[in-house]
Amino acid sequence: MTFTIRKARRQDAPAILHLIRKLAEYERLLDHVECDEARIVAAFFAAEPKVFCDLADEAGAPVGCAIWFYSYSTFTGRHGIYLEDLFVEPTHRGLGIGRALLRHLGQRCIAEHLTRLEWSVLDWNEPSIGFYRSLGAVPMDEWTRFRLAGEALAALGSGKSQVRNA
């Protein structure tokens, strides 16, 4: 099987949404997907996009994706890449596509003098954790990821949040 890695194009929006939905299904989070093709076009293909997508094509059809954006480290004073999503169709796993997508991002990091490539993985996703470890990636056990969303984010942003004792 031959596949290529390429930058996503505007006409790929339906395929990108399909891959996002397949990833959400795999992660048991399909009911959380609010994204649609219009949002993908607006985000990925804006005049100055803030998020990017690389696709893995096999026989001209996308079978995998890496969705990413630039991060910044105040400690190093340099940018890096944060990989938001990596997904390969189940029928195409084990063929080197995920590794090729990550290698492509690694090459970008080197070419642009970026300091790191990082991502998150669900604790229960042992196949992915094993794959990432095989690449030399290490878990950041000393860090806890936090998220503000929904009502809590709206309250904070509007100045109406209440301080709670921890």
CB atoms within 10 A of CB 36: 11
Domains in the chain with CATH codes: 3-158 (3.40.630.30)
Rg, Å, the chain Cα set:
17
Q: Is the pLDDT confidence value at 39 over 60?
A: yes
Q: Give catalytic residue positions.
A: 132
Q: In this predicted model, what pLDDT tens digit does every residue of 43-99 receive, in sequence order? A: 999 999 999 999 999 998 999 999 999 999 999 999 999 999 999 999 999 999 999
Q: In this predicted model, what pLDDT tens digit does every residue of 117-151 receive, in sequence order? A: 999 999 999 999 999 999 999 999 888 888 888 89
Q: What beta strand segments (E) does the chain contain?
A: 3-7, 52-58, 61-73, 78-88, 117-119
Q: What is the mean pLDDT of the chain?
A: 94
